[in-house]
Amino acid sequence: MSSLLLSNVAFSEEIASEDINNLEFISVPKGMSVFEKYGLSDDLPKFGMSSLSQGENLVEHASRVTEFEGKQTTSDIFLVQSTDTKGNIDLRIKYDPIKLDKDEDVIARIENLTKTEYLLRQYAKSYDESSVKVAEKANGEVVIRFNYSKYQLPQNIAYFRFMQVSITAKDGKPIKMEITNSKDFDYEGVKVKDYSQTIYFTELENGKPYIKKKIEITKGTKKDKPITLTTTVTTIALYDNQDAVVVIDADLLATVSDPRMREEKVELQAMFPILADLVRRQGIDVPLPYGISVAYRDQSMDVGFTSFDIMGLELDEFFDPETTFGTVDAKSVSLRADLNIFPFWNVYALVGKIKVDAVIDAQYTGNIRDVFVDKLGSEFKADIACAFAAEVGVPLCEPTRFDVPLELNYDLVGAGTTLSVGYREFFASVTGTYSFTKLSGQDWGDGILTVQPMLGYQLLDYRAQFFVGAEYQALKANMEGNLGFVEELNREFTFDVGVKLNQWAYLVGFNKQIGKHYNLSVLYNKGETRDAYTVSFNYRF
């Protein structure tokens, strides 16, 4: 194995230079690559998010000091990354259990952070090109400032949208990168007030830059108490694909090679979403694959009628469909499980309960007198029958209105899918659900299709989305069913009632991402014959 040599570029953590805030920065014309102009790699900004991007085969040492509640604890781990000839990456954490903070699960935390860095290593265009500014110093150094892109950062490191970055370089060689926050943010359970990351670069003999040391200092509060986290990452060794190696720290390399070191493999590849890495390489956020959500919906409908058929009897002559109407309030609670098969394609299944309270305001025509005439053979006898019915308190022959209350309980099952596409702050989606309901004690009814096309706009700084659209419910022009056997009638009570319903309604909504795993959504529908609101809470993993 041959050895690559370090260049003679001096490395110092004390770089003598004036305060960069006193420099005069000039905006860079659109379409111009300031990194190319000064002989720097255009991939340099991604080093600030992922040290794994500096090579396919490397060994790093990370040390973290935590100061909290008057105590100081330290954890040390090693990270070993290797890549085979097919491009498959193997990541392992090596550690001595004695050198881990016993107050937290350091390995689990490091594993999560390592997975994030792995996902970010492909982000070549992770910065906002419109924010790039440059200042040239008298000593020949150049300082490049920029912000990370609001559009390309996944939820895992969404806090980077608050970062301001400056890179100091000279003679086409990066010297250091400084990253500081402009706003407070949440990070690893800490409400961060002050964040800084300083990366010191040096290079190999072939001119390729690498991270000599990265120091990250996080100051804030945890459980309303001050906390300071200081993480130092150093590169121990770099390997290329021709089996050449540069050893930066031989003592640490010998330590990590000790067979007594414990080892944890970081599982990087997940089956879903399919093509996730391809999408990430385009700088597009990819949702976590699995989700569980609970939703509550309250829908009110005004129902008009066109016909009445009760147990096979046509009753339109006695109950006027045109002047009879109903108000229906349906409340449902559902549990949904979903999966992102592709980043743009989600499928789900749901189960739930629906409680329906309805009141039918019926118009009785009084036309039963004609039935009496037909059955009794004369109008005189029919009038006597009508008078007798009125005398006992049942005015069958007089037009009147009366209410019929109904209370029904249904089971709900269904399945659906969502297709979505987005560009910068804008997105569009269409969701289709096919569901079945079953009245308690009865068989499952016919399926109902619901479709929701939507257009939306997201507030990137707040990870919130607003959307408008429509909702289509393929409600049938009749309600039919069987309420079961009625002993007094010695037959089943069936009904087939014609209804008038508008199948479309407008839709507006709001969704807020809460951290990496949670979403809260609110929808409101308003149509000609119905309105509804839906509240759902989703957990993704």
Q: Are residues 250 and 341 in the same domain?
A: no
Q: Provide the domain limits for residue 72.
A: 53-267
Cα–Cα dist 58/79, whole Å:
8
Residue 375 belongs to a domain: no
Spell out the per-residue pLDDT of the chain, length 541, in tens. Answer: 333 333 333 334 444 444 666 788 888 887 678 888 899 988 788 788 777 777 778 999 999 999 999 999 999 999 898 887 776 778 889 999 999 887 777 777 777 666 666 666 655 456 888 889 999 998 999 999 998 877 666 666 677 777 899 999 999 999 999 999 998 988 878 999 999 999 999 887 777 888 999 999 999 999 999 999 999 999 999 886 565 788 889 999 999 999 989 998 877 666 788 887 666 655 566 778 999 999 999 999 988 888 877 667 677 778 888 888 888 899 999 999 999 999 899 999 999 999 999 888 888 887 777 777 776 788 888 788 778 777 766 676 888 887 878 788 999 999 999 999 888 789 999 999 999 999 877 788 788 999 999 999 988 778 899 999 999 998 776 667 666 666 655 667 677 777 878 889 999 999 998 877 899 999 999 999 899 999 999 999 8
Q: What's the pTM?
A: 0.66
pLDDT value at position 285?
66
**What does the H/E/C string look like for 213-266?**
EEEEEEEEEECCEEEEEEEEEEEEEEECCCCCEEECCHHHHHHHCCCCCEEEEE
Residue 90 belongs to a domain: yes
Cα 30–chain centre separation: 32
Q: Are residues 167 and 311 in the same domain?
A: no
Cα–Cα dist 220/486, whole Å:
70
Q: Are residues 260 and 307 in the same domain?
A: no
Q: Are residues 129 and 195 in the same domain?
A: yes
Q: Are residues 201 and 310 in the same domain?
A: no
**E runs forming strands in 286-344:** 290-310, 313-314, 325-342
Question: Does an H or E element contain 68, and which?
Answer: strand 57-68
Residue 44 belongs to a domain: no
If phi > 0 it is left, if psi is from -120 to 50 it is alpha, else beta; for residue 378 that is beta
Q: Are residues 175 and 99 in the same domain?
A: yes
Residue 211 belongs to a domain: yes
pLDDT value at position 118?
66
Residue 282 belongs to a domain: no
Per-residue exposure over 229-240, b if at least 16 CB sit within 10 Å of its own CB, e if not: bbbebbbbbbbb
Residue 38 belongs to a domain: no
Domain count, the chain: 2
Q: Are residues 185 and 248 in the same domain?
A: yes
Cα–Cα dist 103/95, whole Å:
16
Question: Can you give the CATH number for the domain in which 480 is found?
Answer: 2.40.128
